[in-house]
Structure 1
Amino acid sequence: MSLKSNEKRCMSLLYSTGLEDYRNQLPKPVEGTCSWILNDPQYMSWLTSNETGLLWVTGEPGCGKTMLSLYLTEHLAIESPSSSGPEVFYFFCDDKVGTQRDAKEMMKSILHQILLRHRSLIKYMKSRWEATGHHLVDSFHALWEIFVRIVKEARLGSFGIIVDAIDECEPNTRRLFLQAIKQLVQEARRATRRSRSFVKFLFTSRPSPQDLSVLEETQNTVLPLDGNQARISEEIRLVIRNKLGRIASKLGCSAETIAELEALLTEKAEKSFLWLNIVLKSLEDSPSTSKRDLKRIINDFPRELQATYAEFLYRIPDSRKIIASTVLRLLLGSSRHLSLDEMNIAYTIDGSLEGYQTVAEVMEDRQTALEQMLQLVVGPFVRIEAQKVSLIHQSVKDFLTGHALSSPDSTVREFGTSTPTAALHMASTCIRYLSLEEFATDIFILPTLPWDEDDTIAGVQEDTDSESLFDLGFDMKGDTIMDTGDGSDERTRVSIAERYQFYDYAAMHWARHYAQCETVVDRSTQEAFRSLTQPGSGMLTNWLKYYWFETDMEYVLPDYFDTVMVAAFFDCAVMLNDCLRMPTEQLSKDRALFWAARMGSAKSVEVLLRHSANPNSRVVELHTPLTIASHHGHVEVVRTLLHDTRTSINAEGPSGRSALSYAAGNSHQEIFQMLFNRHDCRPEHQDNNGWTALFWAMERDHTVIGRALLAHKAVDVNHVDRQGRSILSWAAGEGFLQALKMLLKQPGVDTNLKDKKGRTPLLWAANNGHGEAIDVLMRDDYKIDRQSKDNDGRSALSLACGGGHTDCVRALIKYRCGDENEEDVSGWTPLAWALDRQSPPTVGALLAGREVKLDHQDQSKKTALIWAAEYGYYDVVEMLLQQGADPRITSTNGRTALDMAELYGRTEIAALLRQVMSMEENTVW
């Protein structure tokens, strides 16, 4: 199934680079390991249960949780075509990778995987995207609602979601994710009718109920990996046998030595694969290969992870401690896994006292064999896969940034690094790199590399007379979108990143590192910050432009950015406060407040308000700080703004929309409640299109927010927008079933209210092809006018036929909506519209339904048979003839169906008509 242009845009919004590469870089489970879970009773119960549920796998660091997750993603992917297991989609959390530590990123990735497998389900994403625009992915709730609609798709059946290391997901969005799962599981168990589609969640984490206690409330099954010593021991033996054999062969060990080492490792390893891998790495790197020395290495390693890490630090010679400290500090501070080239440059800059002036000077000082150096100095602490280097495990970071800092042992304490200190070194390294001479002039004029253009996205012909919010000119985003034209900026960025191997990391992460280390930043780094953000400088222009386009910012790159704005943008609140102590123009402060609000920089918002920035200014894209923060779901920024008495809660942003409108429309529940609970909130406020917050909430099918708004006395359920459409009309027309069901139950709702086109909710549901919405409208006694017509005299049946919505035609015939032979103001019947739509299935559904007048003639005296012959619809001509259509009827110009077939070269149809007419003549004779 090929995707249309809008569907491609939806998929690109969900796509997250790196996850597949991350999975491929993980060490593969040793053959024979992990398979025990396939026979585990708790796992089997989870796998075979015909209901939505959760299996929570817990274990201490190093016990093999990630290997188990990797094994299951591969096993279930192979098994899913059969009935023995569900389809499986996955996510690996990692707090060292920016796109793998946030539940919004998690939902994006899972949705992307599902929609790649089931292209037809992209309709759920597309309908929300058409309403929300690309800010859809800013809201966890919006992404979750799409996921729930997909879950309820009966054709999907059972599928699994595996999330590894969910305890490494950042707490705020993780809380939203777990609460949503809890609600989904509980609703599924309360349902009176069992669904044919359900989802099975499997999470792995450390056993930390204080953080994940919400999982306990789902009555989930907990599978502790630490609970079966025999099982883990067998896994340990398999790993030892596999890896020790390779190491022993390399070291030239005898069979007797191998056997003794294997027995000793099995005894010592207990239940920690991580401990085992560290020891095996030490054996492999040992300069001495005698049996006595190899056994001593095993015996000297303590069994506890912290003690093991400490022991390894003891083994680093004094001559290599500075190198080791530098490497570990960089890995602790990095925001993502570094490539070997990036690590090489970062190590060169951070570890040197030299004041580099050019890229060439840095490159000259690089290590020629960095990988070997890393393996030699910090080997057991790092993993190098596919030219990327990272710490071997999260527990290493926890040890070095926690226990080591307060260790009574001076050697261990020497390697301890606080998170701010690690961030300071990364910030300083990045700033020093971005300040090199090459980046003082415009690097975007560099020659670009050859480029393979993506497939051109062809325009999509919309359904006849189908209206979406985009069609009506609604400003979904209130943003000015940067059109990159022919993609030259992207090609240049690729060229820059390849030519200057540390530029991508430095440009993308330096400011965030600085924000993390402001409590310990030194004066020289402060000055470097100011230098790098000097207005109009080439260095600022280069890194900012690179960052802007790489993050796909939705606003045009500003012509003017200064230090105050940069500090506010990245929430460098201390630097911002220092800058504002100097005389600063009001416009600069107000612009900085916008960018702080846009990026969720709550501390900077507070600083700017304290320094008299205007909380109601509209200096960028007509947004106020409150509307832009509400738009993007920045809870703390909204809270900070509302604490300022100057903030006008109902101030209008783009298209006259209020903050409440944005919160309701983008499904930001917590922000909505903060605004809605204020005594001065006006929920009935209309934007330039006549839409209220209720319209935006219900148009997103967000019933929780919609229910709260409908309970407010100032909210009118029958309010109409500039098109004369009510929210019931939009819910029916967009196929938002939950909203539709709730609105139909509201006292006083007008179910037949007509808009300026004369269309009722039923007519819009038919026009846009939402058969399920038609079912909802007709199922109960909502007093729906089944024979209503719009200003063009078109009934629901006529509109459904004109759109080629075959299922809707069947539903309308079932509910006896519209007359299949009635003409509209142009003299067209539903059959004529179905033919015009070039939809033989719709024609078939109409003919199979009721008594259609086959030989009805329109204003030009043409029958359906004449039109079908002219259009070349062989199947339809055959169908009409079988139903008894008269082939001899002539139109105004005296032509029969046969004449039209011959005129337009429809040879097969002409032959069929001659055959039928000949048979009729013979019969008469």
Structure 2
Amino acid sequence: MLRRFKAKIKRTASPSNSPLPSTSEDADEFPSLTLQTPHEDIPVKETLGLLRLFPHNNDCESENENESQPDMPAPQSYPVDIIAVHGLGGNAYKTWTHNPDKTLWLRDLLPKSLPGCRVYTYGYPSSVFSESTARVNEFARVLLVKIRDLRERGDSNTALVLAHQEEKYYGEVLSCVAGVAFLGTPHKGSRLASYGTILATITNAFTTTTTAGLSSKATRADLLDHLSHHSDELYDLVMAARNRLHNLQVVSFHELNPMPPPLSSIVVDRTSATLGIPNEEVIPMYETHRSICKYPGETESYKMVAHALRRIATKALAGGQTLQRTSTNSSSRTLSEIERTCLRLLRPDGDLDEDDQEPRLAKPIPGTCQWIYTHKSFTYWLENGNNALLWLTGDPGCGKTTLAVSLTQYLEECRGRQIAHNVAVYFCSSKHNKQTDAKTVLMGLIYQILSRHRSLISHVRRVFDIQGQSMVNSSSSLWSIFTSLTKDPKTKPLYVILDALDECESTSCRWLLDSISALLAESSETQVKFFVTSRPFLRSHYVGAIGTTEPHVSIDEAQSGYIRDLDTFIQQRIAEISLKRQYPSEVKTYLLEAISAKADQTFLWIHIVLALVEESLLTSLKDFRNIIAGIPDKLAETYMRYLSVVPSDHQVIASHLLKLLLASSRPLHLDELNAALTINSSHTTVEDVAEESHTAMAHTVQGILGPLARLYGSKVSLVHQSLKEYLLDKGNTSGSFCATYSVNEQDSALQMACACIRYLCLEDFDFDFFSTNDSSLVGMAGLHGELPTFGLSDDDSQDETHNLHSDLLFRDPAVLNQEVCRMLASTYGFYSYASLHWTEHFALCEDVASDDIRDAALQLLDAENARCRNWLHFYDAHSVDSSTERLIGQHPVVLAAYFGLHSTLKSQLASSNAPQATKNRGLFWSSQRGHERITSTLLAVGADPNSRELDQQTALTVASEHGHHATVVALLTDKRTDINAPGRKGRSALSFACGNGHDRIMKELLARGCDANHTDYSKTTPFIWAVGGGHRTIISALAKQKNRVNINHQDKEGRTAVSWAAGDGMDDVLQHLLKLPGIDVNILDNKGKSPLSWAAGNGCANAIAVLLRNPGIDVMSLDKDNRNAISWACQDGHHDALVRLLDRMKSAADSEDVSGWTPLAWAIQNDAPRTVRALITSGCVDIERRDHGGRTALYWAVEYGHAPVVKVLLEEGANPEARNSWGDTPIAMAQRSERADLQELLSDFLCKGSV
């Protein structure tokens, strides 16, 4: 084989330019690496593009009516388009042609099997020895343009796609595709392609040496590398395709026969040939990789393919499939798997239902909350065209949240009236522990913006590609994402409502307010309006710190509109209660007057009093007087008053209820609260718990806690955040009520932890639900309620059971696990909460837990125990952290380290001789999770801080990546820790700290002498990572380390920090960089591309403006392909970028690159009419300039089929009668392309010109 390969190299290196036909033996040896010329009978230029095989342009469909039919009946017509796409080394014709009989089955067989279909083949320059430099995404773009053109001229049916080897399906093509059939497509690459990459590299070196660099056909090692085994590029493409193909019919064929000697192996095995998506049909074929797509006739293999295509077509047509084009900028834009991961990470309340917050928010009564809209501060805030902050303050329970809800509805209604308002709202209630810090607030805001504008996911993807899942641990990274979103035109104007901001964690709250102040002060590219509500103290601290004031509205300043709202609320509620209880008019009048007199502008007080009035069984005027007279004026006294009326025989259960509600990590469903309240050490099964559970839980909660609890739907919470604060403050005060005694964080956590642990240890969960052995499948069936899990004594019954559920053996484990999780959650009401949260509660109280609870917790950490495996599988299935799968089966020391169980970990270390590898792994997880005490304990018992664990990360690199400063300090205290040890992709701890915006860790590492210029595997330094993350404070700190940091360092691609900032459109960071002494703005990368060209190519108009203001910028810089910044701006039609460049470099607007392409040619190719017009109106472009074939810009636009560009060119004076070297005109080209719209456009202009 190698001898033949050398012979091919020798032939290719020949100076002759004529194509060398290859023998069938060589050309078809293995298609993945074939070095072949086009089909002998077809000129090269006619093998590229979307080529119709059937019917021919001059054929009539009736010509085939009398021909013999294949053995498959075809009683109906199939008006579908079938598009065949070849693979690497393939050809539009030869890939599908069987030798030596030259049967092109797409043309000769398929139309008979699917009457009425049209068949196309798509060709692109995929030969290993190809002059083309285009990459796969560019081949795909041309295909998309061709399919789009078919659709636009109404000349396309529903499409079916055949693919061999390469996968390239993006965006709009799915709008007209019913299904896809893959023939030996290596979705996960091929090891043979990896081998081919090596040979191709040797080939290039050989030909360059022997031909003095004059060879015109270098080996396309890049294409081979794209298909190599586990290629990163191919992985990203397949992950995107998996999501896009989810709703299509997909059939994947894979080969079973190896290639003949000397290869003697399978080229694309089943694993690589399948996508693994639920709707995929996988069909094996007794073919080799070469023969899987070539059929001499109606063979069994051909019939399999034809039948599959018929099934796809039949289903699509029977369902009346109407495939509409969708906008990629809409909220329904299809997301890739990686983009979906980004959204899952950003969802701040992943445990909750999506609308969980909504039911518990008080809705304003009609006619209330209107006063705010006429307040002078509000109108100024709303009408001001700049960024603005409006602050609403008020004491607890005065209705701030209700007003925030009203404002949200108001702004949303404005949006509904075609006023472009984008509204993002976050209610910072601390009723649930996870909603307490600035990071969570930012994640919530970003998630809402992306839910409305999915196309903006690119702002998140850019940060995710750098930081991965740890981006959500960095406040500065999240703020960077948020600010980049605010600069996008789609979000302008943006209204951000932050309710109860005082309930956020104080440090992060101050940081968030500082960041908002900076945004308001410095950015001219945004239009953001912040509306903040809080108690008065937060605003006072904020104003005192920054020394300035923002517009402010205080509910406590006797706002007349607010007082009217109180009156309206009281009147409506009393009317409702009086009607319900049929109170006489004098009682109704008394209640209205008495409650209004004592309201003291507090909605909460009113709510509590009215609830008592409504629930009172005694209804005389005297009774109502006692209720109202007994209500103290102050809210704290109100809470004390209602705690005091809890019956003495219910004090204990009231304490339990309060503790459970205080400890809960999310809103509890009534059945969850019921199970947690009921379970005790005597229960052994779920049935035991159910027998002693309350049968009317809502009644029980309301009767015992009264107005202190609020029920909304099936969920329950404390009535207000101020009640939580009161309980925690008074819990251990002497003389407190029994109901509130020991209501503190630790005891509340213990109450909930005991409930969770006892529930998970019930006998019902002794069975491993996630195992795939036969007994597990029977148990799973029992969970469905379809089969008994015991008492199977009859042999026939057992056989029937086995047969009934034997399909479970062949299900995808991931899908099966999800189904098991759903069944567990629906069958056992408390299982979900207990599995997901028991460790966080136990971590707060393990020191005071009883011995039996500690022993039970150890069972849940023992991987040999089915109870442990069950909850871990459930936890993993619901975690957004993909690494949690690695926890299943781990040693108790590792699990205790991950979940922060310090006392449990110490006990395990003392009672068992944990292996060194276990301690190392535990140290890694404790560092990743930020458990400082556990990290120190493991270091003390000999855990290796330099051990390479998951993704080759060390304890220090992973702690630094996730921003755990105290853990980093603990690790650095150990002298064994290598401060420069490389982690994932060779990145150091400093690299992760700088890239993720953890400035305290950065300072700690620099102070301890780390290598500030350390490079990773991509030769990227911490400074470049800091620039990529947009962390200006870190950039400045590193730049000051003049002898330690090279601010002009070039990475593996030759790009500098300036290049990355310019190319990513980070104009604020770029402006910051250009102020640094010694920064070089013109350093070229390995391809000769300047930072200005990068900014232009990515359409970063503002970054271009920043660069052009720099006096040292070289605007005329050319890369190795002789392309300048204008050329790059035109390639993707970046009009705004082009306009900025034309101000400085008009003379370069018509320059040719190495391929003879001008900027106008690039703009036409990309169908960018605005860009084309900007070039022409600059006065520096020759609109009639001809290429080597005599074709003008107008001719190219017509050939591409870009009607908007054709129109612009004609309007700007292009000659519609200009002939090329073959005497061809644009209108003749339009006629051949069957583009009636272009013919009409050209004819109209010809007529106008002749008048």
**One-letter amino acid matched to 1:401:** L
Q: Which moved more, 1:276-285 or 1:693-702?
A: 276-285
Query: Is the counterpart of residue 138 in structure 1 residue 473 in structure 2?
Result: yes
* Contact kept? 1:29, 1:67, Cα under 8 Å: yes
Counterpart amino acid of 2:1060?
A: W
User: Partner residue of 2:26?
Assistant: none
The alignment's TM-score, normalised by the length of structure 1, stands at 0.88
1:717 aligns with 2:1047: yes
CA separation of 1:874 and 1:87: change in aligned 2, threshold 3 A:
closer
1:525 counterpart residue number:
853
2-structure distance, mates of 1:123, 1:79:
28
> Cα gap change, 1:761/1:140 in structure 2, threshold over 3 Å: closer, same or farther?
same
Q: Which position in structure 1 is the counterpart of 2:412?
A: 77
CA distance in 2, matches of 1:773, 1:873: 30
Instruction: State the Cα deviation string for residues 264-289 of structure 1 (Å, max 9, x = none).
Output: 32333334332332222222222222
C-alpha change, 1:699 and 1:501, in structure 2 (3 Å) is same
- Which secondary structure state, in structure 2, belongs to the residue aligned with residue 405 of structure 1? coil
User: 1:889 deviation in Å?
Assistant: 5.1
Partner of 1:456: none
Q: Does 1:497 align with 2:825?
A: yes
Once the two structures are TM-superposed, the CA of residue 250 in structure 1 deviates from its matched residue by: 2.9
Distance 1:894 1:37, change over 3 A: closer
CA 1:128–1:596 in 2, change beyond 3 Å: closer, same or farther?
same
Q: Residues of 1 paired with 2:440 and 2:419: CA distance? A: 30
Partner Cα separation in structure 2 for residue 90 and residue 214 of structure 1: 26
1:578 maps to which residue?
Answer: 907
Q: For the structure 1 residues 742 and 303, does the alpha-carbon distance in structure 2 shift closer, same or farther, using more than 3 Å as the test?
A: closer
Q: For residues 774-853 of structure 1, what are the structure 2 equivalents within 5 Å?
A: 774-784=1104-1114, 786-816=1115-1145, 819-853=1148-1182
- 1:406 partner letter: T
The one-letter amino acid paired with 1:497 is A
Post-superposition Cα deviations, 1:643-696, rounded to whole Å, max 9, x if no partner, equal 3333222211111101111111111222222223x1412111111100001110
Alignment of 1:419 onto 2:748 = no
Q: Within the alignment, does 1:167 sit opposite 2:167 as a pair?
A: no
Q: Partners of 1:857 and 1:50 in 2: how far apart? A: 49
Cα deviation 1:58-102 (Å, max 9, x = unaligned): 333222222232233223433567899975432111223244222
Paired position in structure 2 for 1:367: 694
Question: Match of 1:788, SS?
Answer: coil
The answer to whether the aligner puts 1:105 opposite 2:440 as a matched pair is: yes
Q: Is the 8 A contact 2:946 2:977 kept in 1?
A: yes
| Separation in structure 1 between the aligned mates of residue 404 and residue 1170 of structure 2, nearest angstrom | 46
Amino acid in structure 2 at the alignment position of 1:146: I
Paired-residue identity, %:
36
C-alpha separation between the residues in 1 aligned to 2:1183 and 2:550? 61
d(CA) in 2 for partners of 1:180 and 1:623? 32
Higher deviation after alignment, 74-83 or 317-326: 74-83
- Report the Cα distance in structure 2 between the residues aligned to 1:856 and 1:695, rounded to whole angstroms: 43
Runs (5+) with no aligned partner, structure 2: 1-328, 771-776, 785-811
What amino acid sits opposite 2:678 in the alignment? Answer: T
Is 1:429 the counterpart of 2:758 in the alignment? no
Letter in 1 for 2:1057: I
- When residues 345 and 724 of structure 1 are mapped into structure 2, their CA distance, relative to the original with a 3 A threshold, is same
Of 1005, 1008, 1024, 1:695 maps to 1024
Q: Which runs of 5+ in 1 are unaligned?
A: 189-193, 450-483
Residue pair 1:182, 1:215 contacting (<8 A) in 2 also: no
Decide whether the 8 Å contact of 1:787 with 1:818 is kept in 2.
Answer: no
Cα distance change on mapping 1:416 and 1:749 into 2, 3 Å: closer
Residue 44 (structure 1) shift: 4.5
**SS of alignment partner, residue 389 of structure 1:** strand
Aligned to 1:386: 713
Task: Give CA deviations for 1:731-764 in whole Å, capped at 9, x if unaligned.
Answer: 1111111222233333443332222112111221
211-220 or 526-535, which deviates more: 211-220
User: Structure 1: which amino acid aligns with 2:682?
Assistant: E
Query: Is 2:729 the counterpart of 1:402?
Result: yes
CA offsets 1:182-215 (integer angstroms, 9 cap, x no match): 4334547xxxxx7773433423136367976766
- The match for 1:470 is none
What aligned pairs does 1:339-350 form with structure 2 within 5 A after superposition? Answer: 339-349=669-679
> What SS does structure 2 have at the residue aligned with 1:536?
coil
Amino acid at match of 1:675: L
Identify the residue that residue 105 of structure 2 maps to in structure 1.
Answer: none
Instruction: Give the TM-score of the pair, scaled to structure 2.
Output: 0.66
**Residue 667, structure 1, aligned to residue 1002, structure 2:** no
Alpha carbons 1:98, 1:336 under 8 Å: kept: yes
| Amino acid corresponding to residue 160 of structure 1 in structure 2 | Y
Contact 2:936 2:970 survives alignment (8 Å): yes
* Counterpart selection for 1:598 from 928, 934, 938: 928
Displacement after TM superposition at 1:589 (Å): 1.2
The question of whether the paired residues in 2 share the 8 Å contact of 1:622 and 1:654 is answered with yes
For 1:556 and 1:876, the matched residues in 2 are separated by 52
SS where residue 162 of structure 1 aligns?
strand
How far apart are residue 415 of structure 1 and its match?
Answer: 4.5
Helix, strand or coil: the match of 2:410?
A: helix
Counterparts of residues 265-304 of structure 1 (less than 5 Å): 265-304=595-634
Matches of 1:412 and 1:214 in 2, distance apart?
Answer: 41
- Whether contact under 8 Å (1:420, 1:519) holds in the other structure is no
Q: Which is richer in helix?
A: 1
Q: Of the candidates 983, 986, 989, which is equivalent to residue 653 of structure 1?
A: 983
Pick one of 630, 635, 639 that aligns with 1:305.
635
Shift of 1:386: 1.8
* Structure number with bigger Rg: 2
Once the two structures are TM-superposed, the CA of residue 606 in structure 1 deviates from its matched residue by: 2.2
8 A contact 2:655–2:739 mirrored in 1: no
Tell me how many residue pairs correspond in the alignment: 877
Q: Are residues 1:632 and 2:967 paired? A: no
Q: Which residue of 2 aligns with 1:461?
A: none
Deviates more, 1:314-323 or 1:734-743: 314-323
**What CA distance in whole angstroms lies between the structure 1 residues aligned with 2:929 and 2:950?**
14
Q: 1:813 to 1:776 in 2, by over 3 A?
A: same
Alignment of 1:31-70 (within 5 A): 31-49=366-384, 51-70=386-405
Counterpart selection for 1:511 from 826, 832, 839? 839
Residue type of the alignment partner of 2:624: L
Out of 885, 898, 903, the position equivalent to 2:1232 is: 903
Q: 2: CA distance between counterparts of 1:892 and 1:491?
A: 66
Q: CA offsets, 1:601-621, max 9 Å, x none?
A: 222222222222222221222
Deviations 1:468-497 (A, max 9, x none): xxxxxxxxxxxxxxxx99755445433332
Secondary structure of the corresponding residue to residue 207 of structure 1: helix
Given that 1:237 and 1:266 are in contact with CA atoms closer than 8 Å, whether structure 2 keeps it comes out as: yes
* Residue 123 of structure 1: how far off its partner (Å): 4.9
Residue 589 (structure 2) pairs with residue 254 (structure 1): no
Letter of the aligned partner of 2:549 in structure 1?
Answer: Q
Could you tell me which of 665, 669, 682 is aligned with 1:354?
682
Is the Cα contact below 8 Å between 1:744 and 1:782 reproduced in 2? Answer: no
* RMSD over aligned Cα atoms: 3.1
SS of the equivalent of 1:591 reads helix
Aligned residue number for residue 222 of structure 2? none
What CA distance in whole angstroms lies between the structure 1 residues aligned with 2:893 and 2:1037? 40
Contact 1:856–1:863 (8 Å) recurs in 2: yes
**Residues 282 and 380, structure 1, Cα contact 8 Å, conserved in 2:** yes
Q: Which amino acid aligns with 1:686?
A: T
Aligned-pair CA distance for 1:383: 0.5
Give the corresponding residue for 2:571: 241
How far apart, CA to CA, are the structure 2 residues paired with 1:196 and 1:688? 37
2:500–2:532: 8 Å Cα contact kept in structure 1? no
SS at the partner of 2:1047?
coil
**Is 1:741 aligned with 2:1068?**
no
Structure number with the bigger relative contact order (C-alpha 8 A, sep ≥ 6) is 1
Q: Structure 1 residues 127 and 353 mapped into 2: Cα distance closer, same or farther (>3 Å)?
A: closer
